[in-house]
Structure 1
């Protein structure tokens, strides 16, 4: 579904993933949909627990000229050292993890002071809307079909509660036949800078 999703999310990804540094950690890299946003010659530390994605991710990274450091780990426990990276990215991942709050705590742990978490995620629609009703009605088959994805999470609330120094969020809707997927957020959360 990469071409379909990319068509609907490209502009938001271009903004959220603009000017990425030469080394990036990505949570849930899948088969490499976001390699196109990395600078030439970049290093991607890919945290991807699904080994069935690994061969295609390796091939895509080689084609893109990206050095791949592939880690078969969960986003809740990356195994990276404290305060060791400048940038973490994710797209359509926080909806699938077991514990989004634990993932955000892990992101904070591995980011250096002033580091950025850049995200594009789909979220629960506002209560009382037709989209929210659709999300509730299809939640189980949706999760079975899309690798455990929950379309009912308040990820913006989780980001704002995760003790980042700042959280910039753009809320938007995509127009797709997949109504539960249509409410989205994109943005950047920055860790506190070191005190002098």
Structure 2
């Protein structure tokens, strides 16, 4: 009973607010912006998401931007707490011919068994989770030995740069609009410190009108 209570407390420590404005707005925003974001990030996604296995776990798949990289007939285990994303995600999975297993869970507590996943992916997600270090520990827990975590994320810009100034200036409205998203996280350091056996990361910059969003990393970490 004590173990059950402890697990319940750990699960409720990370809760997602089903906001009546932000949730539907973000689902609509990312559905409309998908072609633009895909064009901007395609080269990096093609490199990181090449040859994905037939079953993939994705944390925060949103409206399904990465389903196009899964093999037809494959399965996506979708860890997506925002219910407003579920309908568009199911529609996208149907179009792509991918089986979908939606789990309304936080990435910090996926509920998946230890060493059960060959591959976990994320894109533009670690910016908005409550605790990136806890999420990465969870990713390591569910990955099989030798399994891969493949990711693309936007990150904090170098100190003193115009992008960094914009990130600092817009932090509060940006975070409110995009459900806790922070442009000021040093996610490269967080991933490298997460205890993976091997980590390869590329830094790059994109050019968009969304200035706080322009500094990125992409990489593969192996359990």
Q: TM-score range by the shorter chain?
A: over 0.9
Q: Distance in 2 between matches of 1:38 and 1:155?
A: 25
- Aligned mate of 1:136, from 168, 186, 190: 168
- Alpha-carbon offset, residue 28 of structure 1: 0.4
- Aligned mate of 1:90, from 87, 110, 122: 122
SS of aligned partner of 2:101: strand
Please name the residue that 2:220 is paired with: 188
SS of aligned partner of 1:70: strand
Please name the residue that 2:58 is paired with: 26
Q: Distance in 2 between matches of 1:60 and 1:180?
A: 28
SS of aligned partner of 2:147: strand
Q: Distance in 2 between matches of 1:55 and 1:178?
A: 27
TM-score by length of 1: 0.96
Please name the residue that 1:49 is paired with: 81
Please name the residue that 1:150 is paired with: 182
Q: Deviations over 1:95-125 (max 9, x none)?
A: 0000000000000000000110000000001
Q: Deviations over 1:33-53 (max 9, x none)?
A: 100000111100000000111
Note the residue ranges of structure 1 that are not aligned, 5 or more in a row: 192-196
* CA-based RMSD: 0.7
Q: Does 2:49 align with 1:17?
A: yes
Number of corresponding residues: 191
Q: Distance in 2 between matches of 1:58 and 1:139?
A: 31
- Aligned mate of 1:100, from 132, 144, 147: 132
SS of aligned partner of 2:95: helix
The 5-angstrom pairing of residues 105-184 of structure 1 reads: 105-184=137-216
Q: Distance in 1 between matches of 2:179 and 2:43?
A: 25
Runs of 4+ in 1 over 3 A off after TM superposition: none
TM-score by length of 2: 0.84
Q: Distance in 2 between matches of 1:132 and 1:169?
A: 21
- Alpha-carbon offset, residue 138 of structure 1: 0.6
SS of aligned partner of 2:107: coil
Please name the residue that 1:8 is paired with: 40
SS of aligned partner of 2:85: helix
- Alpha-carbon offset, residue 20 of structure 1: 0.2
Which one has a larger percent helix, Structure 1 or Structure 2?
2
